[in-house]
């Protein structure tokens, strides 16, 4: 979802977003006081209409009966009620027009603010958070919050509150006409609403469960679509359909339980309505027989009771709909508004890299639920040094890099860049000083130009072209029908692996950060292109502190140092030739290579 921050305000940042639904919505509502005033006036006016019209009807009926044989007196008697009725209709038109205008101004803005704020909050979560949630489900949760917040406010201001205040106004009017009817109505309304509210608590729980099932189904669908190539290659259509259909059936079962419960509630509400109408009609007949209820009173009370019954019944439905929307929103909030695992401290400063020295000092780190990977690790990479990382899968190479990028925080110890603890600087300033070329780059479903420019948003068109040429991406880009304006597809699926890699390298050229990290940056390139790229990467490495993660050991021949990892420990440290001369772990890896690749560890 694209959000224009010039028009959209990020209302809350960091960890300040409330997790309670009421406080969350209030956070956005309070930014629109004028709209809230209009909505309040609308509620009061909407509540006034039904009792006012019923009272005017009473005046007209009583007036007609009292003056039926006196035309002049009849006209005089009915003039004020008729003028009042017309005035109400005119006022209704004006108030509704103002309300619709406020509606037009308010709801698109509040949805935009929620979307922008939640996207901002979501992107501040740690790498671990995104590895544990489906991306499709997360985007759906933002949509659920936007649409749900709009529905909740609309239900409150357009349905529940006007109808509730209507009952109060009507009860007061009936009390003034005949106290027994006013008391009967208000007592019945309190019991009815209390019963509906009590029953809605379970409906909210069922709605929450239905929303969770919907989230799971959405995640399964997205996961299946994203991995469509694996499904085709392994011809596992039926098994995959079973997985997806199970999630669909689970959602259907949860939804059916919710709908069945709502059906029982509606039946109970119908019985309550029969009780009220029976009480009112019985009282009116009794009062008329005993001459203390006029024909106008009869019309007023019966008409108003019928209107109130419809309002109350609708309000009961709206309360249940409110509970359903609230359940969806609470489920979305619980997923998104988790505390951020990695946060900038209030005193965090901007990192300015002058030299590029990287130092691990007594670092300890372990993944959640696993044994420690790094224990008391200390190592220093000198400014401008080119360091290769070697080791079997799971030995700690990627973790070493991820800790430098602060995708995870160390459990103990410090990581310093130019003597500055990376936890004392902002995450943005840290990562702006590091250029990263991953093994499997992920591109935006945007143009090639936009994807390269993502490396430095203020880059000129000429600088983008130069970066593409340095990465040897320009050659294939100009052969495309739309050139640099060509869309790359979701995650770059329209490009080959090597082409995506070259775009990622072009980004790094454009960013030109003082620290460079390469994670198998040329692994998906053919040998000819790799030779060109290696030459360009070597130019890019100049005057930069560079860390290269590699399984193809031949790419590390020109490194100043090679750090050999084994089970989280750096077991060897030296240049390629020095490590070969030691005839240790690295020499064993070198000899074990087949076609220049490092074999997996033998278990």
From 427, 478, 473, select the one nearest 452 (Cα to Cα). Answer: 473
β partners of residue 434: 515
Residues 563, 453: Cα–Cα separation, whole Å: 33
Residues 44, 24: Cα–Cα separation, whole Å: 25
Tens of pLDDT along 517-554? 988 777 666 777 677 677 778 878 888 999 999 877 87
Residue where one domain finishes, among candidates 281, 301, 336: 336
Please report the pLDDT score of residue 3 as a whole number.
41
Tens of pLDDT along 292-302? 777 777 777 77
Cβ(446)–Cβ(487) below 8 Å? yes
Residue 56 within a domain: yes
**Do 236 and 270 belong together in one domain?**
yes
Q: The CATH number of the domain where 96 resides is what?
A: 1.20.1560.10
Name residues whose C-beta falls within 8 Å of residue 311's C-beta, 6 or more positions apart in sequence: 50, 163, 166, 167
Residue 473 has pLDDT above 60, yes or no: yes
Residue 512 has pLDDT above 80, yes or no: yes
Distances from the Cα of 350 to the Cαs of 55, 266, 342, 392, 419, in angstroms? 70, 60, 16, 36, 14
* Burial class, 345, CB count within 10 angstroms (exposed 0-12 / middle 13-18 / buried 19+): exposed
From 209, 39, 214, 14, select the one nearest 110 (Cα to Cα). Answer: 39
**Do 374 and 279 belong together in one domain?**
no
**Do 248 and 125 belong together in one domain?**
yes
**Do 328 and 414 belong together in one domain?**
no
Other C-beta atoms closer than 10 Å to the C-beta of 1 total 11
Residue 300 within a domain: yes
pTM over 0.85: no
**Do 113 and 65 belong together in one domain?**
yes
**Do 331 and 364 belong together in one domain?**
no
Tens of pLDDT along 475-493? 899 998 899 999 888 777 7
Q: What is the mean pLDDT of the chain?
A: 82
Name residues whose C-beta falls within 8 Å of residue 499's C-beta, 6 or more positions apart in sequence: 473, 476, 492
**Do 414 and 325 belong together in one domain?**
no
Residue 5 within a domain: no
Residue 77 within a domain: yes
Name residues whose C-beta falls within 8 Å of residue 410's C-beta, 6 or more positions apart in sequence: 363, 364, 365, 374, 403
From 543, 509, 546, select the one nearest 354 (Cα to Cα). Answer: 543
**Do 314 and 208 belong together in one domain?**
yes
Distances from the Cα of 15 to the Cαs of 124, 156, 343, 404, 590, in angstroms? 10, 28, 9, 24, 49
Residues 556, 548: Cα–Cα separation, whole Å: 8
Residue 289 within a domain: yes
Residue 194 within a domain: yes
Residues 250, 211: Cα–Cα separation, whole Å: 11
**Do 330 and 377 belong together in one domain?**
no
- Token pair belonging to 333: 């909030």
Other C-beta atoms closer than 10 Å to the C-beta of 469 total 15
Please report the pLDDT score of residue 286 as a whole number.
80
Whole domain around residue 393: which residue ranges? 358-592
CA 32, chain centre distance (Å): 22
Please report the pLDDT score of residue 4 as a whole number.
46
Residue 453 within a domain: yes
Residue 405 has pLDDT above 60, yes or no: yes
Residue where one domain finishes, among candidates 336, 366, 386: 336
Dihedrals phi, psi of 210, to nearest 5 degrees:
-65, -40
Question: Region 399-406: what's the mean pLDDT?
Answer: 92
Cβ(384)–Cβ(332) below 8 Å? no
Residues 561, 470: Cα–Cα separation, whole Å: 25
CA 68, chain centre distance (Å): 67
Q: The CATH number of the domain where 574 resides is what?
A: 3.40.50.300
Better-scored residue on pLDDT, 1 or 591: 591
**Do 383 and 287 belong together in one domain?**
no
**Do 373 and 323 belong together in one domain?**
no
Virtual torsion, Cα 38, 41, 45, 46, nearest 10 deg: 60
**Do 375 and 328 belong together in one domain?**
no
Better-scored residue on pLDDT, 222 or 48: 48
Least confident residue range of 440-449, 497-506, 525-534: 525-534
Residues 12, 551: Cα–Cα separation, whole Å: 44
Residue 374 has pLDDT above 70, yes or no: yes
Residues 412, 238: Cα–Cα separation, whole Å: 48
Tens of pLDDT along 69-78? 666 666 777 7
Residue 598 has pLDDT above 70, yes or no: no
- DSSP H stretches of helix in 67-178: 71-123, 127-131, 135-154, 161-177
**How many structural domains is the chain composed of?**
2
Residue where one domain finishes, among candidates 285, 304, 336: 336
Angle, in degrees to the nearest 10, between helices 161-177 and 295-336: 160
Residue 7 within a domain: no
Residue 506 has pLDDT above 80, yes or no: yes
Output the CA torsion sign for 129, 134, 140, 144: negative
């Amino acid at each position: 979802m694209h959000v224009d921050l010039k028009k959209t305000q990020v209302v809350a940042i960091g960890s300040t977003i409330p997790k309670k639904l009421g406080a969350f919505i209030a956070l956005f509502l309070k930014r629109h006081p004028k709209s809230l005033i209009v909505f309040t006036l609308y509620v009061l006016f909407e509540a006034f209409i039904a009792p006012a019209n019923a009272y005017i009807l009473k005046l007209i009926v009583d007036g007609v009966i009292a003056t039926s044989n006196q035309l002049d007196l009849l006209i005089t008697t009915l003039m004020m009620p008729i003028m009042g009725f017309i005035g109400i209709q005119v006022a209704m038109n004006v108030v509704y027009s103002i309300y619709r205008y406020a509606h037009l101004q308010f709801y698109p803005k509040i949805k935009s603010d929620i979307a922008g704020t939640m996207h901002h909050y979501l992107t501040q979560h740690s790498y671990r958070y995104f590895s544990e949630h489906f991306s499709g489900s997360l985007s759906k949760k933002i949509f659920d919050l936007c649409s749900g917040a709009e529905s909740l406010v609309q239900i409150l201001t357009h349905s529940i509150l006007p109808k509730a205040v209507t009952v109060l106004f009507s009860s007061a009017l009936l009390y003034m006409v005949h106290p027994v009817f006013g008391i009967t109505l208000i007592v019945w309304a309190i019991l009815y609403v209390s019963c509906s509210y009590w029953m809605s608590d379970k409906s909210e729980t069922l709605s929450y469960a239905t929303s969770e099932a919907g989230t799971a189904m959405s995640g399964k669908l997205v996961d299946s679509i994203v991995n469509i190539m694996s499904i085709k290659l392994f011809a596992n259509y039926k098994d995959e359909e079973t997985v997806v259909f199970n999630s669909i059936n689970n959602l259907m079962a949860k939804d059916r339980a919710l709908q069945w419960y709502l059906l029982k509630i509606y039946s109970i509400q119908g019985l309550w309505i029969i009780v009220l109408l029976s009480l009112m009609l019985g009282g009116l007949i009794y009062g008329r027989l005993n001459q203390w209820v006029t024909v106008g009173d009869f019309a007023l009370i019966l008409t108003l009771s019928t209107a109130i019954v419809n309002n109350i019944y609708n309000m009961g439905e709206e309360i249940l709909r409110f509970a359903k929307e609230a359940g969806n929103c609470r489920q979305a909030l619980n997923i998104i508004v988790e505390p951020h695992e990695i946060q900038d401290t209030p005193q965090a400063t901007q990192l300015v890299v002058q030299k590029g020295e990287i130092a691990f000092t007594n670092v300890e780190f372990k993944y959640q639920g696993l044994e420690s990977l790094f224990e008391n690790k200390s190592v220093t990479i000198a400014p401008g040094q080119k360091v290769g990382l070697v080791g079997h899968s799971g030995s700690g190479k990627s973790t070493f890099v991820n800790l430098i990028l602060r995708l995870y925080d160390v459990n103990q110890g410090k990581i310093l860049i130019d003597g500055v603890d990376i936890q004392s600087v902002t995450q943005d300033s840290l990562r702006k000083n590091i250029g990263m070329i991953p093994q499997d780059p992920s591109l935006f479903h945007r143009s090639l130009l936009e994807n390269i420019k993502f490396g430095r948003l203020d880059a000129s068109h000429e600088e983008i072209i130069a970066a593409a040429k340095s990465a040897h991406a320009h050659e294939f880009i100009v052969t495309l029908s739309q050139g640099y304006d060509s869309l790359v597809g979701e995650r770059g699926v329209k490009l080959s692996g090597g082409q995506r890699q070259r775009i990622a390298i072009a980004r790094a050229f454009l960013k030109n950060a003082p620290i460079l990290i390469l994670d198998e940056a040329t692994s998906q390139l053919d040998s000819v292109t790799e030779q060109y790229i290696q030459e360009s990467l070597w130019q890019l490495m100049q005057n930069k502190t560079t860390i290269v993660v590699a399984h193809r050991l031949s790419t590390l021949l020109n490194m100043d140092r090679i750090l050999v990892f084994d089970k989280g420990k750096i077991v060897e440290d030296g240049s390629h030739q020095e490590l070969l001369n030691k005839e240790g772990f690295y020499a064993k890896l070198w000899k074990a290579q087949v076609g220049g690749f490092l074999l997996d560890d033998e278990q």
